[in-house]
Each structure stands twice: as structure tokens, then as C-alpha cells.
Amino acid sequence: MTKAQAELASLSRFVFRAPDWSASLFSTLLVAAIVGVAAFDSQFFLDDAYRGMVYVGLPAVVAAFLTPPIDRLCGGQFTYNRSALLAFVCEIVVVVFLVAAAVVVAISGTTQALVSDALVLALASIFALRLFVIMAVSRRSLPIATVSASIQTVAAAVLGIIYGETVGYLSAGEPSFAIDATRSDMLVVQPDEFVLLGLLCLVYAVAVWVFLRAVDRPWKRSLGVSVLDFVRGFIGHTAAGSDELETFFEKIGEPAIVPVTVLGIRRLDGTEKARFVLPTVHPGPMGDIGGGNLPERIAATSDGLAFVPHAAAGHDFNLVTEREVETLIDAATRAHNRVEYSRRATRSDRNRVGGSTILGQAIGDDALLVATHAPEPADDIDFSVGLSVSAEARAGGLDEIMLADAHNCNDGLNGDRPGRIGPGSRRSFDLMEAAGRLGVCLRSADRSPLSVGVAADRTDWTPKDGIGPLGVRVAVFEVAGQRTVYVLVDGNNMDCGLREEIIDAIDADEAEVMTTDTHVVNTITAANQVGDSIETDRLVELIVALVGRAEGDLEPIEAGMATERVEVTVFGTDRTESLAATANAMVQIGGVLLLTVVVAAVTASVLLFLLTG
């Protein structure tokens, strides 16, 4: 994961799940009651609280219940939970405006007209806030979104008319009050102030439109999509668990043909013991969006214990929708049905060039290769690099190649060295050279009967701890007295040094530790790698115990490998980086742009107050 991609993923920390609507409404009425007790001075305490809930809380309650059906009628997707929370926040904004104005009046001795002006400004401000949120979440045009956005402001204005007896003023020409701001001083609200409120709302609507258009322009020019689509999908996924983000990704995706390689392992009686499945895509982008839960989905289709290691593919090969996983599963099934089994395999061998190491083992004329750069940190191996590495191994005389990226040593964004293994990099050539040498060695190596033992533990860790639902899985391959241990942890990369600690604790001739690179753990933080949140001693102890169980499960087997190529829709070349860079750039300049728009809107508001005063 590049720095730009990590910064994009880390934006999820600003998104939270909206509380249940009942909790938001309770808070709304509680605050309104407190404001009523402070603002009104009747003979009964409960009467003050009641008046506060009616004149301060009722507009928020009306907005909370009316916004979702009206928004959905207009084609939006606003929920009651979001609506109630937004109404509560807007109520707080109104209270803050009024309290601030009342404090100024008390200190400076100015007239109550200031509080009346503050109320008008507050109602216009919450209209702008609601308009911005509704346009971002429901992706409606400005005129349509205005209908839902104006509900709370209109409700408050109607109550102001009723309570302030403005209707009487219209008929008798006499002013009256709208809110008893203090016991002795009445807050006078006249009909022309409602006209001012309408003008302010118009100014703020234009300001919101200008801001969104300015933010949206770079997205449409570079990606051909709207930022509002991304914001709505991003919030919907991280806050409500929806799949709206996939709709956005479909618009930027492009088709790609990817290999899906299967290593089938079955007992001598024909029953399946284990299955290694390697679709050459990236299990991202996050959560269960796209292929984020790819390892678990594929593992569920295997009769034996499934191993789904990380393939040589970066974020450009993220699946755009979860539906694409079914395409890969079908391809894996077809490949499994074509496997030609053999009882014979080679002892494992390891070849290191520069900082890159490949552990390989031939099964028949095919080979399982596991690449790592530990103890140096590294991230994904690019798709093109993986194809070149496999071709180098195949040039030595091997047939099918299953190239797994161990993905087992990373320092997050702390290091200066780029973690991605891209074409033309030193590491890419080191991998190709190591694979070429290893391919020659494995092709000419002696073959002997293969025995395999497996064990697994889903663990009590959760994605919050950096461990996915598959937990930890271990396979032990025994050939001619040599035991090779393959450890697979369902996580996204691993803290530097942990891989070596695990291997040192395992009593085996050869061993390698892999992670699935599952992205179900990445709705928590941008990295959340194995070792960040859990006690590593417990993990090491668990793996050692699983190796012992797998060794006890050793039995003669036959195995074979087959590959299917299938077309899926992925993010596409450099799309992920472009998306991340555009989003991060807009976050950086968005604050300045927002400040500029707010200053312009406030200036226009002051002019309106002066002209209508």
C-alpha cells in the first residue's frame, strides 16, 4: 500500500456509524428541555421544559421523521438514523447561535434584535449544513436536495410565526415576539426577517453549489466520476455497511484477464484433504467491498482445508464488486476439476538473490513458489512482475506455477523505501533471477512420495485485532524425510521480525509464513497488520501447536495443479493511485476552499442584513 493509498484508507477514521434514531431524538428533546428551562420563566418548571421541547426541539423532530420519506421520494437513500442525527446536530447549531447572541447582549447591553438576527442566521446555516449533507449522502441535484434540506428551517420558521403571533401582526400591523429569550426582554421577530431568512438560504445554497462544483471538477477531469458518488459510497460502507461504494468502483473499473491457479491435495481414497487456491487479484480495497473478503469466500467452497495465500497483484487488481468473487470461484472450480494428480514431489529448496527469497517445491511437473523479502519490509508484487517471475520459473522446464507472495514483513509507512515491487525495480529482477535458478533446480530434482498434514484454528481474534475470519492455517509437506511447513495467517501483512520469530520457533527443515492480505481488517485502520494489536507470543505459541497437530495429521496423498484464466473487472492500471491522489489533494485544499466559500457567504449575509436593516 502506497502512502497515498494509506492516507485515503485512513479517512475512514472520520466516518462513524450513526446511532439509532431513538437515541438521537432523546438527545434532541433533552437539549431542548434544558434550553426551555433556561430561556423561559413560567411558574412551573415542567412548563418551561415543555415549551423548550416544542419551540426548540419540535423542528428537529419534524425534520428527523420527514426527511427520509421525502428524500427517498426524490430518489435519495437517507436513513432515519442519519436523519435524526443530522437534526440533532442542527438543533445544537441553533442553540449555540442563540446562546452566543444572548451572551453578547448581556455583556454589551445591545438590543434583543441581535438575538433575532442570530436566530435567522442560525436557521439559514442549518439549511446550508443539511443541504451539503443530503447532497453528499443521497447524491441528488441542488433543487431536489433543497426540498429535504429545508424541512427543519421551515418547521422552525412556521413555529416562529405561530408563537410570535406574526399572523396577528400581518392583520393588525403590530409587532409581537417569537421567543421569550429572557423573562423581561422579548425577542421581536417581524415578517421582513422571514424574507431575510429566505434570501440568506438562497445565498447559502449558491455557496454550497459552488463549493461542491469546485471540489468535483478534478474528479470528473481525472476519473470521469463525481466525488459525491465516492463520498456517498464511502460513508455508506464504513458507517452503514452498504455496498454503495461498489457502484462507484464499477464506473472506474476496466476488464482484465487473470489466472486462477489451484493446487488440489487429496487422500489416496479420493477424498479432498486440502486445497490451495490462488486467484491473481488483490483482496481489496477494504472491508467486504470488492474482493476485500476474498480469502473467506473462496475457502468456503472447498471440501478440504482451504489455503488462499496472497497473489502477485497490487491494488490496481482490486475487484470492483463482490459479485466478481463468484466469477473467480467458478474458475477455481473448473481448474480443480482439471487437476491431474501425482504422488511424487521434490524436497523444498530456497534460492536468494539480493534481498529477495523464493521457497519452492515441485509437485509432479508443477511447482509451488513462495516469495518473500524479509527481513526487509515490502508490500505487494505487481501483476506484471508476478507473470515475469512465473515465466522465469517455467523456463526451467516446469509446467504450472503457483506463485504466492508471502506478504510477511512490512513497516507500514515508517520506512523511506517504497514497499511496492514494481516493474523495473531491483527487487523485481532479483525475484526473476531467483525463480529462474529455482525452476532449473526443481525440474531436475529427485521426486519421492508426498505426505501432507494440515491443521487450523479460527482463533478468538477479530478483524479489529488484525486477524480475519480464517484465523491461522498450517500445512506440513513431507518428502524423503524433509518436512516443509507452510503457515498462512488471515491478515494484511506482518510486523517486521515476527516472521523470523515464528520460523525460529518451528521445528522443521524448511518453513515460510504467509498472510492472505485480507482487507476485512482495513476498516479499522489503513494497515492493521498482524502483530500490531495482538500479543505475538500467543500467536507464536498457537502456530507451534498447529504445526504439531499437522505433523500428527501427516498421511500419503496425491496432488496436482491446474490454472484457469478468467475475465473480471478490476480497478485498472494506476486507477487506485489516481483515486487516492485526487482524494488526498482535495482533502488538503478542501479546507482552504471551504473557508473561502464561508467567508464569501458571511460577507453576503452581512450585506443583506445591512440592506434590509
> Between 255 and 103, whose confidence is greater?
255
The answer to whether the bond into 68 is cis (omega within 30° of 0) is no
Tens-digit pLDDT profile for residues 32-59: 888 877 766 556 667 778 777 877 889 9
Entry pTM = 0.75
Contact 342, 362 (CB under 8 A): no
Q: Does the pLDDT value for residue 548 go beyond 60?
A: yes
User: Cell 523505501 belongs to which residue?
Assistant: 417
In this prediction, residue 546 carries a pLDDT of: 98
> Does 315 score more than 80 pLDDT?
yes
Inform me whether the pLDDT recorded for 130 exceeds 70: yes
Average pLDDT for 438-454: 97
Angstrom CA distances, 12 to 62, 258, 318, 471, stand at: 30, 30, 18, 24
SS3 call for 416: coil
Q: What pLDDT score does 419 carry?
A: 77
Please give the backbone phi and psi of residue 265, each rounded to the nearest 5 degrees, phi first.
-130, 120
Q: Name the pLDDT band for 3 (thresholds 50, 70, 90).
A: low
259-299 residue pLDDT tens: 999 999 999 999 999 999 999 999 977 766 777 789 999 99
246-265, pLDDT tens digit by residue?
777 787 789 999 999 999 99
At 415 the pLDDT is: 47
Mean pLDDT for 383-392 is 97
Choice among 60-74, 135-149, 465-479, 499-513 with the minimum mean pLDDT: 135-149
Q: What does residue 393 show for φ and ψ, rounded to 5 degrees?
A: -65, -40
> Do 75 and 143 meet the contact criterion of CB atoms below 8 Å apart?
no
Question: For residue 527, what are the contacts with CB-CB under 8 A and spacing of at least 6?
Answer: 1, 6, 410, 412, 413, 492, 493
- Secondary structure of 428-485 in HEC code, one letter for each residue: HHHHHHHHHHHHHHHHHCCCEEEEEEEEEECCCCCHHHCCCCCCEEEEEEEECCEEEE
The count of other CB atoms within 10 Å of the CB of residue 317 is 27
> Bridge-partner residues for 356, per DSSP?
353
Distance of CA 602 to the CA centre of its chain: 35
Residue with cell 518453513: 511
More confident residue, 81 or 592: 81
Q: What is the mean pLDDT of the chain?
A: 84
Residue 215 pLDDT > 50, yes or no?
yes
pLDDT exceeds cutoff 50 at 177:
no
By three-state DSSP, how is residue 194 classified? helix
Mean pLDDT to the nearest integer, 384-409 = 96
Decide if pLDDT at 522 tops 60: yes
List, for residues 6-21, the tens digit of each pLDDT value: 555 555 554 556 788 8
Residues 465 and 528: their CA atoms lie apart, in Å, by 7
Each residue's pLDDT tens digit, 150-169: 999 999 888 766 665 433 44
Predicted confidence (pLDDT) at residue 1 exceeds the cutoff of 50: yes
Strands (DSSP E) found in 272-375:
272-279, 305-307, 310-311, 344-345, 349-353, 356-363, 366-372
Spell out the domain ranges in the chain: 15-210, 254-571
pLDDT in tens, 328-359: 999 999 999 999 999 999 999 999 999 999 99
Residue 182 reports pLDDT greater than 50: no
**Residue 157: which of 188, 128, 183, 124 has the closest Cα?**
124
| Conformation bin of residue 224: beta by default, left when phi > 0, alpha when psi is -120 to 50 | left
Instruction: Measure the CA angle with vertex 561, ends 452 and 518; round to 5°.
Output: 80
283 compared with 542, residue with greater pLDDT = 542
Task: Please give the average per-residue pLDDT across 488-513, as a whole number.
Answer: 96
DSSP state of 97: H
- pLDDT band at 103, cuts 50/70/90? confident
Task: For residue 1, give the nearest of 429, 358, 316 by alpha carbon.
Answer: 316
What is the three-class DSSP state of 205?
helix
d(CA 55, CA 32): 8
CB crowding 274-313: b at 16 or more within 10 Å, else e: bbbbbbbbbbbbbbbbbbbbbbbbbbebbebbbbbbbbbb
pLDDT in the model for residue 216: 81
Cell of 389: 517471475
Q: Which percentage of the chain shows pLDDT scores above 90?
A: 52
Q: What pLDDT is attached to residue 247?
A: 73
- Distance between alpha carbon 458 and the CA centroid of its chain, in Å? 23
pLDDT at 556 (0 to 100): 98
Q: What cell does 318 get?
A: 482490486
359: β partners: 350, 370
